[in-house]
A and B are shown apart, each in its own frame.
Chain A
Amino acid sequence: MLTKLTMDILLVENVVAGYQSSNVLQGVSISLSEGEIISVVGRNGVGKTTLVRTIMGLLPVRSGRIEFAGKQITSKAADHRARQGIGYVPQDRGIFPDLTVEENLRMGRFIGTKRNSLDFESVFNNFPFLKERLHQRGGTLSGGQQEMLAIARALINQPKLLLLDEPSDGVQPSIVEEIGQFLLQLKATGEVTVLLVEQNFDLLQTVSDRAYAMEKGMVADQLSVDDLNNDEILAAHIAM
């Protein structure tokens, strides 16, 4: 294992983090190679969302380190990390309710190092409904539409890494499937690495290359594609 064929885009080492009085993450280590879709599974409350928020920089790292694209980002602020190329879709989607759909999309342009002209064309190809709703307020979209808008916003300026926190939460099954197909297309381009927190079996099995199973704030197990496709093994890590 001395030489790696692909570069680690994200490296999380023994990270301890959490909220005011208690640590939720008790020394988490994960690594993501370029172009992969890696999932994080586990029961409610094991620290999956905390892990994503810590990687994004919204929670401080108490010990351990985080490296992104070969650079140490452990103590960098969230806005710095975003400008380095980390796109983030929170569990509640984080759509600005009083900005229009177009303005929400424009807010994605500070993610990533390049200041490209925004690629609305490919956004409309992937999510055609957004074109008709450009001038509607974000808050008037349905949950599934907001999820797709949040994903499109995070990707509009080509980040290197996408953090997706439970995209299936509160979204109807047909749209979950659509999101799964979109993520597969995204993987095929090989340009974006995805860290996916998810509980939905279908979505996990459709897109994941491998997964980390968390328990009590630590990584308890690593799951291969075969493990993921075995409903019993997957259920043992997610359900009660």
Chain B
Amino acid sequence: MEIDALALSLTYQFGTNAAFLFLSALGLIVILGMMNIINLAHGELMMMGAYAATIANNQFGLPFPLAVIVSFFAVAIFGAILELLIVRRFYGRELSALVVTWGISLILGQGTFLVFGPFMPAIKIPGGSYSYGGFSFSEYWLVLIGISISLVIGLYWLYRYTSYGLQARATMQNAEIAKALGVPTNRVYTLTFSLGAGLAGLSGALLAPTSTIAPFMGQQFVAPAFITVVVGGATNVISGAVGSSVLLSAIKTPIGMAYGAFLGTVALLVAALVIIRIMPDGISATLQKIMDRRRARHTL
């Protein structure tokens, strides 16, 4: 009975850790992974999503799920404006983009502090919790795990099967050729950045009930987000991010349960270092090499 509960709890912890890593990385998967922009304002975009959800929920009385959807669109529109006014001047200039997005992050953080003050009223965690064998399981985290899985499927579908997805992947690989083949690449860039920003806002809103809502709350997501995307690699950003969230969580969870959360996080960082040392282009590049080799064997 106790083994059962322990196994169940381990699985649940594993799921929540993986979902947390994936949700933290969600917008960055698109903006860093696909567009190759080192977006240091990622945390602030998530913060904006959390604020949008809080305001929609507390001030306007929207039900929480609706507030999350509103956050997605609000931050997506903000992202589109950011791209049109600022970010598009810095494509292909990675270090300039890094400095510029850092500046944007400072302005957003301080601006929020000036307008809304140091704290926002918290959003109550929706749903209750179950307990089994001395462990407790939050309903909301189970929902977040489910949402993470749906987002993976949704993003995979968007980039694999839609016309926008094909145009976006082609544009990010070679913008000049995509343009010469009739793709309105400027519009694709705006849309893609806007989607990335919107997704960051969405995950900020989803994680809002689990965290303190404050102007600089975004910082806590930045490190896990970058680690997840970089360990996943740019070759196939979606499978990369899934692979790295699952792998990193598989290392963090048991060590965290046995030796405490702090050592769990240390283990995650060590694991990330080791993985990047072994697979410098990330998990997805290694997966692709294996696939290519298998395909080549089939056609020979």
| A77 CB contacts on chain B under 8 angstroms | 179
Tell me which residues from 258 to 300 in chain B have a Cβ below 8 Å from any Cβ of chain A: 288, 292, 295-296, 299
**A56 contacts which of B178, B180, B295 (Cβ < 8 Å)?**
B180
Given A136-B295, A140-B292; A111-B181 close (CB under 8 Å)? yes
- Of A88-96, A191-199, A224-232, which stretch is located at the interface? A88-96
| B288 CB contacts on chain A under 8 angstroms | 98, 137
**A107 contacts which of B178, B236, B299 (Cβ < 8 Å)?**
B178
Tell me which residues from 126 to 141 in chain A have a Cβ below 8 Å from any Cβ of chain B: 132-133, 135-137, 140
Q: Are A58 and B180 in contact (CB under 8 A)?
A: yes
Q: Are B182 and A83 in contact (CB under 8 A)?
A: yes
Closest beta carbon of chain B to A71's beta carbon, Å = 16
Q: Are A140 and B181 in contact (CB under 8 A)?
A: no
Closest beta carbon of chain A to B230's beta carbon, Å = 18
Assembly CA distance A221 to B289 (angstroms): 50
**Cβ-closest chain A residue relative to B187:** A79
Q: Are B170 and A82 in contact (CB under 8 A)?
A: no
Of B167, B178, B292, which is in contact with the most chain A CB atoms at under 10 Å from its CB? B178
**Cβ-closest chain B residue relative to A163:** B180
Given A83-B182, A98-B235, A135-B295; A107-B176 close (CB under 8 Å)? no
Say yes or no: is A108 at the interface (Cβ < 8 Å to chain B): yes
Given A96-B170, A97-B173, A136-B295; A108-B181 close (CB under 8 Å)? yes
Say yes or no: is B166 at the interface (Cβ < 8 Å to chain A): yes
Of B178, B182, B184, which is in contact with the most chain A CB atoms at under 10 Å from its CB? B182
Q: Are A82 and B299 in contact (CB under 8 A)?
A: no
Say yes or no: is A99 at the interface (Cβ < 8 Å to chain B): yes
Say yes or no: is A106 at the interface (Cβ < 8 Å to chain B): yes
Assembly CA distance A56 to B268 (angstroms): 50
| A107 CB contacts on chain B under 8 angstroms | 166-167, 170, 178, 181, 183
**A58 contacts which of B167, B176, B182 (Cβ < 8 Å)?**
B176
| B178 CB contacts on chain A under 8 angstroms | 107
Q: Are A82 and B182 in contact (CB under 8 A)?
A: yes
Say yes or no: is A110 at the interface (Cβ < 8 Å to chain B): yes
Q: Are A132 and B299 in contact (CB under 8 A)?
A: yes
Closest beta carbon of chain B to A62's beta carbon, Å = 19
Q: Are B181 and A88 in contact (CB under 8 A)?
A: yes
| A88 CB contacts on chain B under 8 angstroms | 180-181
Say yes or no: is B9 at the interface (Cβ < 8 Å to chain A): no
Closest beta carbon of chain A to B99's beta carbon, Å = 25
| B299 CB contacts on chain A under 8 angstroms | 132-133, 136
**Cβ-closest chain B residue relative to A98:** B173
| A83 CB contacts on chain B under 8 angstroms | 182
Q: Are A82 and B181 in contact (CB under 8 A)?
A: yes
Interface residues of B (CB under 8 A from A): 166-167, 169-170, 173-174, 176-185, 235-236, 288, 292, 295-296, 299
Interface residues of A (CB under 8 A from B): 56-58, 77-79, 82-83, 88, 90, 94, 96-99, 103, 106-108, 110-111, 132-133, 135-137, 140, 153-154
